[in-house]
Amino acid sequence: MSISKQPRDPQAPKGRPTPKRSEAQSQRRSVATTPTTRKDAAKRQREERRVVLERQRQALANGDERYLPARDKGPVRRFARDFIDSRFNIAEFFLPMAVAILVLTMVRVGYLQQVALLLWLVVIVLIVLDSVVSGFRLRKRLAERFPDQNTKGAVAYGLMRSLQMRRLRLPKPQVKRGERP
């Protein structure tokens, strides 16, 4: 049984079976649905982007890992979120405290204005200290939990999350306070 070494005819098929009629028709239809003008292409692209953003918004509200944005995906980021969400952070109460302190500064009583300035200093120092302690603890837990994975940016991600009020955080917190992640 000898195989001929003749060159293949350029009109010959390329080593694959001929497509069925239904497959060929579906391919033609998909080609026909491609946009013909720039305006149509831009419209279709906007619609696709809107669908993707809506899916991401739903995922942020529900915590669905599959459709989260890239900055929130992965087990390392999930652990950082859960670690921060499982504890009280002083920084998350900054906004209500800032409003209260601003009201105190508006009062035309010298003593209350001095107390308000001192409260500003105390709040800022407490937030910085709490953030430093949280950062070190999170870094240590990440190193224990994910020794062979890249944890770059996860501590900063967690600290930025701790600055937000709990009910405004996205993705929504998946653990209760006091739970261990």
For residue 167, count other CB atoms closer than 10 A to its CB: 8
- H or E element: which one contains 124? helix 110-145
pLDDT band at 3 (very low <50, low <70, confident <90, very high): low
Q: Say which residue the tokens 């497959």 belong to.
A: 23
pTM over 0.85: no
- pLDDT tens for 161-172 read 999 999 999 899
Q: Which of 89, 164, 179, 98 is nearest to 131 (CA)?
A: 89
Q: How far apart are CA 91 and CA 169, in angstroms?
A: 13
Q: What is the pLDDT of residue 30?
A: 65
Q: How far apart are CA 143 and CA 108, in angstroms?
A: 51
